């Protein structure tokens, strides 16, 4: 089973690069951040406070989550692809992702997905460190905070740059500071600073690293 782990903070270029690498090497792609977002979405929809750890964990275990190959995300039979990217979910997701019981459930589902698909390109924060420490290739993408905020504010055009930059700083602190599987590069990860690289250049580097690894 071939797993390529692509980790890094928001705005590092992970999603774009992971999708392009998946296309280039012919493996399926999984956005694990969308899974944590789906838990936050399900919790909000069922009227749970993201801080209610036990209740949110119970929702994570019982929810039907379908990460489809066409990129859509279905939660309890509802297409949540748009709403999981919205401001409400984005505000709540770091708290949900710091919940150990939620993480344990999502890791099980991520491993099951990889087995079912015979491997894949998996994008997240802890894929190389915790979910698949034996991945064939681990990549950690990073970029300067101003570049990351700039990229995000081009995606979310209705928010001011300052709002986006503050949100990224807040999420970085929560993701890096949490006790359970904090965001960090695995010791054997290929670390790429994407600040001054084009998508094609980053994908080239990842594919060359994969050629060297296999
Ligand atoms: O990549 P993203 O912004 O969609 O991720 C949403 C949140 O989920 C973010 O706060 C980090 C968290 N996350 C995580 O803790 N572990 C992962 N493997 C993926 C995302």
CATH number for 36-117: choose from 3.40.50.2300, 3.40.50.300, 3.40.1000.10, 3.40.50.720: 3.40.50.300
User: What is the structure's pLDDT at 158?
Assistant: 78
Using a 6 Å cutoff on CB, does residue 148 contact ligand 1?
A: no
Instruction: Please give the model's pTM, rounded to 2 decimal places.
Output: 0.94
User: What is the structure's pLDDT at 83?
Assistant: 97
Sequence-separated (6 or more) residues with CB below 8 Å from residue 132: 3, 5, 111, 114, 122
- Give the C-alpha separation, 43 to 61, whole Å: 12
Using a 6 Å cutoff on CB, does residue 138 contact ligand 1?
A: no
Contacts 24+ apart (CB under 8 A), 41-44: 41/75, 41/80, 41/83, 41/84, 41/89, 42/75, 42/76, 43/92, 43/96, 44/88, 44/89, 44/92
User: What is the structure's pLDDT at 34?
Assistant: 98
CA quadruple 24, 25, 27, 32: dihedral positive or negative?
negative
- Give the C-alpha separation, 76 to 62, whole Å: 9
- Give the C-alpha separation, 202 to 137, whole Å: 15
Which of 32, 83, 132, 183 is the best mutation target for the ligand 1 pocket, counting ligand atoms within 8 Å of the beta carbon and taking the most? 32
Region 117-137 average pLDDT: 97
User: What is the structure's pLDDT at 41?
Assistant: 98
Ligand 1 centre from 75 Cα, in Å?
Answer: 17
- Residue-wise pLDDT for 183-203, tens only, equals 999 999 999 999 999 999 999
Q: Which CATH code is given to the segment(s) 1-28+119-205?
A: 3.40.50.300
Domains 1-28+119-205 and 36-117 share a fold: yes
Mean pLDDT of the chain: 95
Using a 6 Å cutoff on CB, does residue 175 contact ligand 1?
A: yes
Ligand 1 centre from 201 Cα, in Å?
Answer: 24
Using a 6 Å cutoff on CB, does residue 17 contact ligand 1?
A: no
Which atom of ligand 1 approaches the CA of 131 most closely?
Answer: 18
Give Cα separations from 166 to 79, 85, 93 (angstroms). Answer: 29, 17, 15
Using a 6 Å cutoff on CB, does residue 126 contact ligand 1?
A: yes
Is residue 157 predicted with pLDDT exceeding 80? Answer: no
- Angle between helix 32-45 and 53-62 (nearest 10): 110
Kindly list the domain boundaries of the chain, sorted by start residue.
1-28+119-205, 36-117
Region 99-115 average pLDDT: 98
Q: Copy the structure tokens of residue 150.
A: 């700039």
- Residue-wise pLDDT for 49-77, tens only, equals 999 999 999 999 999 999 998 999 999 99
Residue whose token pair is 């290929």: 190
Region 22-43 average pLDDT: 97
Q: How confident is the model at residue 214 (pLDDT cuts 50, 70, 90)?
A: confident
Residue nearest to atom 14 of ligand 1 (CA): 125
Residue nearest to atom 8 of ligand 1 (CA): 33
User: What is the structure's pLDDT at 159?
Assistant: 83
Which atom of ligand 1 approaches the CA of 127 most closely?
Answer: 18
Region 163-182 average pLDDT: 91
* DSSP state string for 167-197: HHHHHHHHHHH-SSS-S---TT-EEEE-TT-
């Amino acid at each position: 089973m071939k797993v390529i782990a692509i980790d890094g903070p928001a705005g590092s270029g992970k999603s774009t690069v992971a999708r392009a690498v998946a296309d280039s090497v012919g493996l399926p792609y999984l956005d694990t951040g969308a899974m944590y977002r789906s838990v936050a979405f399900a919790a909000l929809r069922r009227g749970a406070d993201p801080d209610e750890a036990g209740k949110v964990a119970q929702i994570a275990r019982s929810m039907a989550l379908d990460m489809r190959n066409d990129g859509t995300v279905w939660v309890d039979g509802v297409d949540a692809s748009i709403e999981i990217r919205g401001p409400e979910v984005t505000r709540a997701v770091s708290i949900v992702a710091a919940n150990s019981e939620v993480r344990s459930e999502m890791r099980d589902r991520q491993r099951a997905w990889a087995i079912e698909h015979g491997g894949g390109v998996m994008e997240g924060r802890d894929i190389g460190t915790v979910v698949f420490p034996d991945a064939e290739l681990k990549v950690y993408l990073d970029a300067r905070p101003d570049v990351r905020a700039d990229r995000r504010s081009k995606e979310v055009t209705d928010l001011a740059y300052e709002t986006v930059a503050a949100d990224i700083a807040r999420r970085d602190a929560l993701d890096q500071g949490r006790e359970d599987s904090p965001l960090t590069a695995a010791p054997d990860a290929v670390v790429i600073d994407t600040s001054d690289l084009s998508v094609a250049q980053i994908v080239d580097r990842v594919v060359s690293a994969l050629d060297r690894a296999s």
